[in-house]
Amino acid sequence: MKKIISLVIASILGGTIALGAYAFILAKSQTIENSNVISQPMVVKTSYTPVSNYSAEATDFTKAAEQTLHTVVHVKNVSISKSNPLAEFFYGADAGGGQRTIGTGSGVIISPDGYIVANNHVIKGAREIEITLNNQKTYKAEVIGTHESSDIALVKIDATDLPHITFANSDNVRVGEWVLAVGNPFNLTSTVTAGIVSAKARNINISGGRMIESFIQTDAAVNPGNSGGALVNVSGELVGINTAITSQTGSYVGYSFAVPSNIAKKVIEDLLEFGDVQTAYLGVNPEELSSNIAKELDLGITQGVLVAGVTEDGAALIAGIKVNDIIVKMDNIKISKFSNMQGFLSTKRPGDVVDVTVLRGGKEKKFKVKLSNQFGKETIGKLDFSKYLLGSLEKISKGKAAKYRINYGVQFVKVRNKDLISNGVEKGNVILKVADVKVYSVQDVEDVLRKNKGKLIIIQILNDEGFVEYFRLMVNN
Structural domain of 341: 284-370
Query: Cα separation of 263 and 105, whole Å?
Result: 20
Whether residue 6 lies inside any domain: the answer is no
Pair (181, 147) in one structural domain = no
Of the three residues 239, 274, 309, the one that is the final residue of a domain is: 274
- Domain of 75, CATH number, reads 2.40.10.10
Of the three residues 342, 370, 398, the one that is the final residue of a domain is: 370
Q: Do 439 and 394 form a contact (C-beta atoms < 8 A)?
A: no
Whether residue 309 lies inside any domain: the answer is yes
Total structural domains within the chain: 4
Pair (174, 264) in one structural domain = yes
Ordered per-residue pLDDT tens for the chain, 477 residues: 444 445 445 554 555 544 454 444 434 433 322 333 333 333 333 333 333 444 445 578 999 999 999 999 999 999 877 666 656 655 565 555 567 888 999 999 999 999 999 999 999 989 999 999 999 999 999 999 999 899 999 999 999 999 999 999 999 999 999 999 999 998 888 899 999 999 999 998 877 667 889 999 999 999 999 999 999 999 999 999 999 988 777 778 888 999 999 999 999 999 999 888 999 999 999 998 888 888 888 888 889 999 999 998 899 999 999 999 999 999 989 999 999 999 999 999 999 999 999 999 889 999 999 999 988 899 888 999 999 999 999 999 999 999 999 999 999 999 999 999 999 999 999 999 999 999 999 999 999 999 998 889 999 999 999 999 999 999 987
Of the three residues 274, 296, 311, the one that is the final residue of a domain is: 274
Whether residue 360 lies inside any domain: the answer is yes
Whether residue 20 lies inside any domain: the answer is no
Pair (98, 120) in one structural domain = yes
**Residue 252 has what pLDDT?**
82
Q: Please give the positions annotated as active site.
A: 121, 151, 227
Does the model's pTM come out above 0.85? no
